[in-house]
Amino acid sequence: MKDIWKILKSVKLAVFLLIILAIASTLGTIIPQGEEAIWFAMKRPELFKILHFLGLFDLYHTLWFRAILGLLALNLIVCSVDRLPDTWKRIKEVKEPKKEEFRIKVKEDFSEVRKKIEVHLRCRLLKEQKDKVCFFIEKGRFSCFGVYIVHFSIILILLGGIIGSIFGFEGYMSILEGEKKDTVRLKNKKELKLDFQVRCDKFLVEFYENGMPKEYVSFLTFIKGGKEFRKTLKVNHPVRFDGITFYQASYGIAVGDSVLIKVLDKTTKKEKKVKISLGEEASVFGIRIKLLDIREDFGGAGPAVFLKLKKDGEKRKLILFRERKKAERILPSEMLNSPIFDPSFFNYSFSVESLETKYYTGLQVSKNPGVPVVWTGFFFISFGLILTFFSSHRRIWIYVRKKEDGTEIAISGMSNRKDKGFLENIKENISRICITQ
């Protein structure tokens, strides 16, 4: 038991765990994580099995990775518990150092000097004798606690992580414009039912002149208990409703399941429009048209429909763009000249009259009660680091002694850092307020 305690309180273990965590984390950035691991499984099925067994495809959530984090937390706690009493004692007891760093001779009278130092240096009287006094200045007592605050903050951050993973969730929902939804697809592929509904009234993408996206905006309505609450959601400006936070994560274009096709008789200039649903057939000018597929995008040229045409025993397939002109701009002409893209069949010409598209908005949905705990940890770790590295615990003893030809001032000091500069400062201060010899 004693041995275990000894190992747990050692800084050697802490450094070892830090290095192990660094190495393990590195592995996780080299080996594909989560869904990206699929290609690995296809390429190297044997190796995949071994790595999968070790949990290396979901490394940061494996038991062993968490165990290392847990051990580090335990190590931090044991170190703190082991050392805190010593630190406390060191701060409580004031031991005068034997060595005096400086001695200054002053012309002025003893009581005069004494008063000056007490007033100007704002120090506390420690000891008083007839012709000598000792003053004491202490600064930055909390500096020694900085380390404990930093380590406590790390525990707090880990705790926040645990709270988040137990009581919170992270998921995704995509909602078509005009659609209402109340289910969230969680990371573990399960579905979560919310006790309210979310409707996407409209989705908007704004672009800069050079084509880069400027803003993604979802206009949402939350419906609970018959009441409607409207909210506008942008990237970097999440929306909170009923303790659950919504983030603008992605968007996309969805097509409907029917299309209006225009057929032109080139000789008579007569045209007919026909609405066809996916998989259905229609007949115009004696041509049988079957709608095989509707794609949101074909080759970057926007939406396109796949048709199958049939007349007088002749059959062919046709891919029709919603915007032929856009396709001509984007796709090579050799490709568009191939028969499958040719919108003419017998003496008829085909085009898409209307193909409705709608945006859908992709929302990241999360509830994380651990966040305030993590934020508190962040605050205290910053504060603790500043205390640890940029403040120091300093003690200064100033002895004022009566001498025949004036007064002698002696200074000794201590610091938890190896800086002696502060003693020079004190010396300078004294020579400014007193007339030195």
Q: Which residues bind other proteins (CB under 8 A)?
A: 11-12, 14-15, 18-19, 21-22, 25-26, 28-29, 33, 60, 161, 170, 208, 210, 212-216, 234-238, 245, 247-249, 364-366, 371, 374-375, 378, 381-382, 385-386, 389-390, 418
The residue among 58 and 179 lying less far from other proteins, judged by its C-beta, is: 58
Q: In this structure, is the dihedral angle defined by the CA atoms of residues 164, 233, 363 and 250, taken in order, positive or negative?
A: negative
Whether residue 291 contacts residue 272, with contact meaning beta carbons closer than 8 Å, is answered with: no
**How buried is 56 (Cβ within 10 angstroms: 0-12 exposed, 13-18 middle, 19+ buried)?**
buried
What is the smallest separation between the CB atom of 390 and other proteins, expressed in angstroms? 8
What is the smallest separation between the CB atom of 8 and other proteins, expressed in angstroms? 15
The residue among 79 and 255 lying less far from other proteins, judged by its C-beta, is: 79
Would you mind telling me the total number of residues written for the chain in this entry? 437
What is the smallest separation between the CB atom of 22 and other proteins, expressed in angstroms? 4
The residue among 366 and 412 lying less far from other proteins, judged by its C-beta, is: 366
What is the smallest separation between the CB atom of 291 and other proteins, expressed in angstroms? 36
What is the smallest separation between the CB atom of 366 and other proteins, expressed in angstroms? 5
Q: What is the DSSP string of 198-264?
A: EEEEEEEEEE-TTS-EEEEEEEEEEEETTEEEEEEEETTB-EEETTEEEEEEEEEEEE-SEEEEEEE
C-alpha of 201 from chain center? 29
Picking from 149, 83, 143, 114, the residue whose alpha carbon sits closest to that of residue 414 is: 143
Distances (CA, A) of 40 to 26, 32, 37, 47: 18, 8, 5, 9
The residue among 42 and 212 lying less far from other proteins, judged by its C-beta, is: 212
Give exposure, 226-238, as e/b (b: 16+ Cβ within 10 Å).
Answer: eeeeeeebeeeee
Q: State how far the Cα of 218 lies from the Cα of 192, in Å rounded to an integer.
A: 22
Q: What is the largest CA-CA distance in the chain?
A: 132
Angle formed at CA 214 by CA 211 and CA 216, multiple of 5 degrees: 120
What is the smallest separation between the CB atom of 216 and other proteins, expressed in angstroms? 5
**How buried is 261 (Cβ within 10 angstroms: 0-12 exposed, 13-18 middle, 19+ buried)?**
buried
What is the smallest separation between the CB atom of 99 and other proteins, expressed in angstroms? 21
The residue among 245 and 436 lying less far from other proteins, judged by its C-beta, is: 245
The residue among 25 and 277 lying less far from other proteins, judged by its C-beta, is: 25
What is the smallest separation between the CB atom of 395 and other proteins, expressed in angstroms? 21
The residue among 109 and 215 lying less far from other proteins, judged by its C-beta, is: 215
The residue among 14 and 409 lying less far from other proteins, judged by its C-beta, is: 14
